[in-house]
Amino acid sequence: MAASKKKYNFKGLDDIFGESVTDIIDVIENDKKLAKEKTLIISVDLLKPNPYQPRKVFEQEELVNLAESIKLHGIIQPIIVNDKNEIVAGERRMRAAKLAGLKEVPVIVLTLSNAQMEEFAIIENIQRVDLTDIEEANAYKQLSMSLKLKQEEIAIRVGKSRSHIANIMRLLNLPKKVQDALLQKKITMGQAKPLLTILGNESLLEDIFQKTIDQNLTARDVENLVKNAGKEKQETIKEPKSPNIIQTENRIMRRLGTKVTIDNKKITIGYSSEADLNRVLEILGLLEED
């Protein structure tokens, strides 16, 4: 269907976002009169996903439920797109509309630059969509890299605490296998966080991660496994010998002509045979005379 597109033009990001990224979307979606005036009807096949969309997983059951609602009531809120028909807000509605068998959908067109599209997609999704923890972490990383934002600035932008941003972004230090499990909701953030403390021990991390999956361990179970592994490691680490101890070992070895170790408050004297043992005992004055 040919139609001249009506567009909103913005000078910059502040004109889009105001105090919140959802401001303009809320106005468009909730002002029925404005939505009616600006809405176009286009083929659903013309719509393209936002290339900056941080969400990678769309729950099929949710889409099916939304599709059933669309069959009954249609799409109540128009899908927001740019002038390339890339979706700014409403990808779930678009996917559900296809499931429902709709050929055409209502849209409102915004004129946005690539930078505006990227920031809009990331922040709008963080504020409005239930992202997985790892998707949220990647969204913050994208904001940090693309817009050169510090964690404090990201926190202000998305309305969350700096500690929340920092904790979520730490998940990106985990191995890809663990990140994929978070993305697929096989494990929770609570189960994954203890693994961050053993990043330097790949084999231990892999072992505990696999146990978490296979045995469906709770977050507390994982914490305890990591904690106990840490205690065992501490117990196996030996304090380095002081120069005085090493010097004493060498003096005794020269005197006895055999290997001598001083460790854990014990002196160990080696010997190669019974005859060698008698030799050492004789030097020590401990050999009993017949």
Burial class (CB in 10 A: 0-12, 13-18, 19+), 70: buried
**pLDDT tier, 220 (very low <50, low <70, confident <90, very high otherwise):** very high
- Residue 231 is predicted with a pLDDT of 66
Do residues 94 and 182 share a domain?
Answer: no
Do residues 259 and 179 share a domain?
Answer: no
Do residues 40 and 89 share a domain?
Answer: yes
Residue 164 domain flag: no
Residues 6+ apart with CB under 8 A from 69: 96
Q: Are 213 and 181 in contact (CB under 8 A)?
A: yes
Q: What is the CATH number of the domain that holds 42?
A: 3.90.1530.10
User: Which of 73, 101, 131 marks a domain boundary?
Assistant: 131
What is the rounded distance in angstroms from the CA atom of residue 242 to the CA atom of residue 170? Answer: 39
pLDDT tens readout for residues 109-168: 877 777 777 777 777 667 655 678 888 898 888 888 877 888 998 888 777 889 999 999
Do residues 124 and 204 share a domain?
Answer: no
pTM across the whole model: 0.53
Residue 75 domain flag: yes
Residue 210 domain flag: yes
Encoded tokens for 248: 């004493």
pLDDT at 227 over 80: yes
pLDDT at 259 over 60: yes
- Residue 129 is predicted with a pLDDT of 57
Do residues 63 and 105 share a domain?
Answer: yes
User: Which of 44-53, 121-130, 171-180, 210-219 has the weakest average pLDDT?
Assistant: 121-130
Do residues 124 and 17 share a domain?
Answer: yes
Do residues 92 and 40 share a domain?
Answer: yes
pLDDT at 1 over 60: no
Alpha-carbon distances of 31 from 26, 108, 258, rounded to whole Å = 8, 13, 93
The per-residue pLDDT of the chain, averaged, comes to 79
- Residue 205 is predicted with a pLDDT of 93
- Residue 71 is predicted with a pLDDT of 85
- Residue 233 is predicted with a pLDDT of 56
Residue 252 domain flag: yes
Residue 290 domain flag: no
Place of tokens 């490691």: 233
- Identify the residue with better confidence: 206 or 77: 206
What is the rounded distance in angstroms from the CA atom of residue 288 to the CA atom of residue 290? Answer: 7
pLDDT at 13 over 50: no
Task: Indicate the length of the chain as a whole number.
Answer: 290
pLDDT at 290 over 90: no
Residue 35 domain flag: yes
pLDDT at 25 over 80: no
Active-site residue list: 91
- Residue 207 is predicted with a pLDDT of 92
Residue 162 domain flag: no
pLDDT at 191 over 90: yes
The structural domain count of the chain equals 3
Do residues 247 and 207 share a domain?
Answer: no
pLDDT tens readout for residues 99-110: 888 898 888 887
**pLDDT tier, 11 (very low <50, low <70, confident <90, very high otherwise):** very low
pLDDT at 255 over 60: yes
Alpha-carbon distances of 236 from 42, 194, 230, rounded to whole Å = 69, 21, 10
- Identify the residue with better confidence: 9 or 177: 177
Q: Are 67 and 85 in contact (CB under 8 A)?
A: no
pLDDT at 20 over 60: no
What is the rounded distance in angstroms from the CA atom of residue 277 to the CA atom of residue 274? Answer: 5
Could you tell me the residue range of the domain that residue 258 belongs to? Answer: 243-284
Do residues 228 and 254 share a domain?
Answer: no
pLDDT tens readout for residues 36-86: 557 788 899 999 887 776 666 677 777 888 888 888 888 877 888 888 888
Do residues 183 and 271 share a domain?
Answer: no
Among candidate residues 240, 251, 181, the one with its CA nearest the CA of residue 216: 181
Place of tokens 């941080």: 54
- Residue 169 is predicted with a pLDDT of 92
Do residues 109 and 29 share a domain?
Answer: yes
User: Which of 2-11, 104-113, 281-290 has the weakest average pLDDT?
Assistant: 2-11
**pLDDT tier, 270 (very low <50, low <70, confident <90, very high otherwise):** confident
Neighbours of 103 (CB within 10 A): 9
Among candidate residues 43, 232, 23, the one with its CA nearest the CA of residue 123: 23
Residue 110 domain flag: yes
Neighbours of 174 (CB within 10 A): 21
Do residues 193 and 111 share a domain?
Answer: no
